[in-house]
Amino acid sequence: MGKSLHFTMGQLLEHMAIKYPDNDALVYPDQGLRYSYKEFNAICDGVAKGLLAMGVGKGDHIAIWATNVPQWVILQFASAKIGAILVTVNTNYKAVELEYVLKQSDTTTLFLVSGFKDTDYVETLYSVVPELRNAEPGQLQSERLPFLKNVVFLGERDYAGMRRWHDLEVLGEGVENDQLSAVQKLLDEHQVINMQYTSGTTGFPKGVMLTHHNVINNGFNIGECMRFTEKDRLCIPVPFFHCFGCVLGVMACVTHGSTMVPVETFSAEAVLRTVQTERCTALHGVPTMFIAELDHPAFDRYDLSSLRTGIMAGSPCPTEVMKRVIREMYMTEITIAYGQTESSPVITQTRTDDPVELRVATVGRALPDVEVKIADIETGQRLPPGRQGELCTRGYLVMKGYYKMPDETARVIDEDGWLHTGDLAVMDENGYCKITGRIKNMIIRGGENIYPREIEEFLYTHSKVADVQVYGVPDVKYGEQVMAAIKLKENTSATSEEIQDFCRGRIANYKVPRYIKFVDEFPMTASGKIQKFKLREMAIMELQLEAAGSVETA
């Protein structure tokens, strides 16, 4: 059995500020920002008081649309200290998606930065809420977003209708400590504190409701799997709006008194520089991030010898990439984690002392106090080791539900409390799981079930292949055919025939990709997940398979 923590997030941070007052909590080397746990807690208190002064209270929804800026982590704790619910907005969203999330979540207050990549957040917001330009700060009346009253800009510039971050700090000075304490006494660890929208490959995004208890205990157990102590320093280049950043990153650190060293927006060199400058002992990333770091022309110029552990997750982790990270980045204790937002998010994780074979071939075993079963897709019955079925989980980690979507919630959490992940998996007799695909990504070719992951792992062994995604495309005769989108290594070239010849005789003929497309990049979500459904849509158009796709099957 694991050790269960019974804190609210505010209580957790106060506990750490007493236990490790002078330890670095939050460090941004490029900005010269360095807060100890004592300082970080005091800053979060100040902002919590500012929120109270602005009229934000327990149960109110406040949204943040920002890259990994320092204010993001401060708000994560400041909002939790008063029981407000932090709604995390995907940094890649445009106007339609922003409006949907703010409306569906009943957000009363929005915090935002100036923009990200090609999106100007301020102009996007004005287009969604034109009334903001003429509103007094805090007095917004919007026809499309009736709940939204406050907008706070995370910077120094003045924008019409918005407060600045500094104004919030000043407002907080007028609130007594006793008032904040009184609010904190009313909070309960099982109340919802965080709402994240699943990127949803089908239908509209759903707001996943997570509690203090969900994210604190999941973060603690994740940190335990990496053997975190107050001496560890974690480089966090994965986005905070996603559980990978705010739970596997922030909460794994704060539950252990470890140091958070975020990278504001991902670049391979920024990560390498940050690890070297701050002597980071741990690094998180999705596989594409680790590939970019390993392949960076300046890789050899950086000293990464301080690294020990970290997490590769977010999408299937190629065996060859894992081996290179262990060998070339000194991450001998790197772990693999698997889960989804609905399970706050980690269900299984490898341990630092697992043999390399298990760390490259499985997603580990259940975290402490977490139940995992592999269920028959048809009957829901628990399957024995070695049989493929749907991975289901139960325990403290399961979300409260989807916000205002009871039917959707009932679809994924059954009456016995099991969360159905939609992922196909096989578990061995020691509880180690292999994810074999998504139920809906499975390719069925002429009655044969094909699991893309298996073909991807095989193609990674080709000397010219840097990254690969395998998916099904429609076919009149077989129902579906196998297609591979391949990113080649720098300064190499290959033909479709060469790749197919490499496969023939080494994997079953029906698994050899019928179509091969060479790409420079894959369509991604902002959290680094490759969108196979988009690759499939593009292929249907390029290969003119629309007619095959409309053939009805039983």
Residues 15 and 59 in one domain: yes
Residues 303 and 418 in one domain: yes
Domain of 413 in residue numbering reads as 207-438
Higher pLDDT, residue 223 or 547:
223
Residues 6+ apart with CB under 8 A from 505: none
User: What is the pLDDT, as a whole number, of residue 479?
Assistant: 80
Closest CA to 286 of 315, 243, 250, 248: 315
C-alpha 252/C-alpha 232 separation (Å) is 11
Task: Give the model's confidence band at 552: pLDDT under 50 very low, under 70 low, under 90 confident, else very high.
Answer: very low
For the segment 103-114, the average pLDDT, to the nearest whole number, is 98
Task: Give the model's confidence band at 10: pLDDT under 50 very low, under 70 low, under 90 confident, else very high.
Answer: very high
3 within some domain = no
Question: 461 is written with which tokens?
Answer: 């062994």
Residues 128 and 268 in one domain: no
Q: Which residues of 95-104 are buried (b: 16+ CB within 10 A; e: fewer)?
A: eebbbebbbb
Q: Helix or strand or coil: residue 113?
A: coil
Residues 286 and 362 in one domain: yes
User: What is the pLDDT, as a whole number, of residue 55?
Assistant: 97
C-alpha angle with apex 450: 446 to 453, nearest 5 degrees?
160
176 within some domain = yes
291 within some domain = yes
C-alpha 522/C-alpha 174 separation (Å) is 50
Q: Helix or strand or coil: residue 110?
A: strand
295 within some domain = yes
Report the amino acid identity of residue 8: T
Positive or negative: CA dihedral 266, 485, 346, 350 = negative
Q: Which of 100-109, 115-124, 196-205, 373-382 has the lowest mean pLDDT?
A: 196-205
Residues 530 and 460 in one domain: yes
Distances (CA, A) of 58 to 119, 255, 422: 32, 23, 34
Write the pLDDT tens digit of every residue in 490-537.
999 999 999 999 998 888 788 899 999 999 999 987 667 788 888 998
CATH label of the domain that carries residue 484: 3.30.300.30
**Is residue 554 predicted with pLDDT exceeding 70?**
no
User: What is the pLDDT, as a whole number, of residue 532?
Assistant: 87
C-alpha 548/C-alpha 551 separation (Å) is 5
User: What is the pLDDT, as a whole number, of residue 202?
Assistant: 46
Write the pLDDT tens digit of every residue in 225-247.
999 999 999 999 999 999 999 99
61 strand-pairing partners? 85
Higher pLDDT, residue 443 or 309:
309
**Is residue 206 predicted with pLDDT exceeding 80?**
yes
User: What is the pLDDT, as a whole number, of residue 505?
Assistant: 82
**Is residue 338 predicted with pLDDT exceeding 80?**
yes
Task: Give the model's confidence band at 378: pLDDT under 50 very low, under 70 low, under 90 confident, else very high.
Answer: confident
Q: Which of 65-74, 85-94, 490-499, 539-548 has the lowest mean pLDDT?
A: 539-548
Residues 409 and 450 in one domain: no
Does a cis peptide bond (omega within 30 degrees of 0) precede residue 316? no
What burial class does residue 326 get, using C-beta atoms within 10 Å of its C-beta: 0-12 exposed, 13-18 middle, 19+ buried?
middle
CATH label of the domain that carries residue 127: 3.40.50.12780
The domain total for the chain is 3
Residues 173 and 300 in one domain: no
4 within some domain = no
- Tell me the average pLDDT of the chain: 93
350 within some domain = yes
Task: Give the model's confidence band at 549: pLDDT under 50 very low, under 70 low, under 90 confident, else very high.
Answer: low
C-alpha 86/C-alpha 79 separation (Å) is 7
C-alpha 217/C-alpha 191 separation (Å) is 14
User: What is the pLDDT, as a whole number, of residue 540?
Assistant: 92
Residues 186 and 280 in one domain: no
pTM comes to 0.85
Domain boundary among 164, 197, 230: 197
Closest CA to 338 of 370, 362, 307, 310: 362
DSSP letter string over 214-276?
Answer: HHHHHHHHHHHHTT--TT-EEEE-S-TTSHHHIIIIIIHHHTTTPEEEE-SS--HHHHHHHHH
Q: Which residues of 508-543 are buried (b: 16+ CB within 10 A; e: fewer)?
A: eeebbbbbbbeeeebbebbbbbbebeebbeebbeeb
Residues 415 and 543 in one domain: no
Task: Give the model's confidence band at 360: pLDDT under 50 very low, under 70 low, under 90 confident, else very high.
Answer: confident
Residues 432 and 460 in one domain: no
Residues 6+ apart with CB under 8 A from 380: 414
Write the pLDDT tens digit of every residue in 21-37.
999 999 999 999 999 99
70 within some domain = yes
User: What is the pLDDT, as a whole number, of residue 450?
Assistant: 79
Higher pLDDT, residue 315 or 407:
407
Domain boundary among 374, 407, 438: 438
Closest CA to 252 of 278, 273, 282, 275: 282
User: What is the pLDDT, as a whole number, of residue 96?
Assistant: 84
Residues 494 and 368 in one domain: no
Residues 134 and 255 in one domain: no
376 within some domain = yes
Domain boundary among 133, 165, 197: 197
In percent, the amount of the chain with pLDDT more than 70 equals 97
Q: Which of 46-60, 238-252, 428-442, 540-554 has the lowest mean pLDDT?
A: 540-554
